[in-house]
A = this chain, B = another copy of it.
């Protein structure tokens, strides 16, 4: 019975969020040092609010909402549901306490489990699946946001001593050759996907090659040492402005200490392993590196068409595709419809998933997207030519 499996997935996903927070002290749940980096407490509450707002309030008879104001406090961008707490003020919301947020989670969990145990209809199953995937996305954000907050602390806090996520290496090398022709792109079976993957359609691709390995720290250090950050020829015009105005000279979290490259990891400050895969670069840096290498970044279609033959999942790979709708794309009605479509401007697609992506969350058709200057995700570079 699919609802049993779903219930199982629900439980394990919900539990995983708590497991991720186990090493945190109460203080760590609070800060939002940048607009893009939300507090752990907010992630825990917001993912819970999603189930309450989208599922329980609509489908569970006589459901008593946990607290009237939580819908205001833990909403994110869903304009269709009342006012929203200003996005940049999340760090000021010390109450409800962390403990209360965990109680809120338990309350909602109990009700969702009740609902799933009593012959839920198809709409419920669909929305719970969406809620699970939504929470998985926030699990990755929780980790990347926490890393960012900790990185601003001069004492470089340790999240867990064995949690250096950026020490992994390539398992393949060389170039994958792909043939010219028509390929089918987009999601095409009954399994879960987001609306932005739907609208399976044909694209025509010309001959191309993809690197089987991602760019390593060593290769990127060559770029730095070759003056990559000082030569505008490699950069898009806006990328060059970004470099100049922010005095960018290296990937995020990198430090040059006594002439040795170090970086901040969730296990503290570490010396960089040259053979490990590069992380925390912006699209601008990815594009500049590719130009310096006399290569380019792949399009998202090239990536997806080749995905069966790629070893991926270590870094979100910047593609040279802007985040735009597929043919026939329709936003869902209401708040669920705000999930994806409204962000289809000025962002670039990333493919493949990262070391921080929860297991079973990714798939070849998955379209992640961020603004080109952002570096705080576990982003990397796969070259194309």
Asked whether A93 is an interface residue with its Cβ less than 8 Å from the other chain, the reply is: yes
Q: Is the CB of B206 within 8 A of A152?
A: no
Chain B CB within 8 A of A239 CB: yes
Given contacts A238-B346, A239-B345, contact A95 B204 (CB under 8 A): no
Contact yes or no, A203 B203, CB < 8 A: yes
Establish whether residues B69 and A154, one from each chain, have CB atoms under 8 Å apart when the complex forms. yes
Min C-beta distance of A87 to chain B, whole Å: 11
Q: Are A31 and B30 in contact (CB under 8 A)?
A: yes
Whether A77 sits at the interface, judged by CB under 8 Å, is: yes
Q: Considering only CB atoms, which chain B residue lies closest to A26 in the complex?
A: B26
Q: Which of A58-66, A124-132, A212-220, A229-237 contacts B (4 or more CB under 8 A)?
A: A229-237
* A79 adjacent to chain B (CB < 8 Å): yes
B95 touches A343 (CB 8 A): no
- Residue on B with the closest CB to A201? B206
Could you jot down 29 A-B contacts, CB within 8 Å?
A: A27-B29, A27-B30, A30-B31, A31-B92, A31-B94, A32-B91, A72-B154, A73-B154, A77-B237, A79-B232, A79-B233, A85-B154, A89-B152, A95-B157, A96-B155, A201-B204, A203-B204, A204-B204, A206-B328, A236-B343, A237-B342, A238-B345, A240-B342, A287-B345, A296-B325, A320-B325, A321-B324, A322-B322, A346-B372
Nearest 9 pairs between A and B by C-beta? Answer: A322-B322, A27-B94, A33-B92, A92-B152, A30-B30, A26-B26, A202-B204, A237-B342, A204-B204
Contact yes or no, A324 B328, CB < 8 A: no
- Extra contacts besides A85-B154, A182-B204, A320-B325 (4): CB < 8 Å: A33-B91, A94-B153, A237-B345, A283-B345
Please report which residues of chain A, range 13-64, place their CB below 8 angstroms from some CB of chain B when the two chains form the complex.
25-33, 41
A interface with B by C-beta (< 8 Å): 25-33, 41, 69, 72-73, 77, 79-80, 85, 89, 91-98, 149-150, 152-155, 157, 182, 201-204, 206, 208, 232-233, 235-240, 283-284, 287, 296, 320-322, 324-325, 327-328, 342-346, 372
- Identical chains bound together, number: 4
Closest to A99 in B: B25
CB contacts (< 8 Å) of A33 on chain B: these are 89, 91-92
Tell me the complex Cα distance, A30–B31, Å. 7
Nearest Cβ on chain B to A305's Cβ, whole angstroms: 12
Q: When chains A and B are docked, how far (Å) is the Cα of A66 from the Cα of B214? A: 45
Which residue of B26, B69, B95, B372 is within 8 Å of A345 (Cβ)? B372
Residues on B with C-beta less than 8 A from A201 are: 204, 206
A73-B154, A320-B325, A324-B322 known; A342+B92 contact, CB < 8 A: no
A95 engages B30 (CB within 8 Å) = no
Contact of A155 among B28, B73, B154, B320 (CB under 8 A): B73
**Least Cβ distance of A110 to chain B in Å?**
23
Contacts A94-B31, A204-B202, A324-B322 hold; do A343 and B237 have CB atoms under 8 A apart? yes
* Contacts known (A153-B93, A203-B203); A27 close to B98, Cβ less than 8 A: yes
Min C-beta distance of A304 to chain B, whole Å: 14
Q: How far is the CA of A150 from the CA of B93 in the complex (A)?
A: 8
CA of A204 to CA of B180 in the docked complex: distance in angstroms? 13
Evaluate contact between A91 and B91: CB separation under 8 angstroms.
Answer: yes
Q: Do the beta carbons of A206 and B91 come within 8 Å of each other? A: no
Nearest-neighbour CB distance to chain B for A268, whole angstroms, equals 12
CA of A346 to CA of B344, assembled, Å: 11
Across the interface, which residues of B come within 8 angstroms of A236, CB to CB? 342-345
Report whether B26 and A27 are in contact in the complex, using a CB–CB cutoff of 8 Å: yes
A165–chain B nearest beta-carbon distance, Å? 20
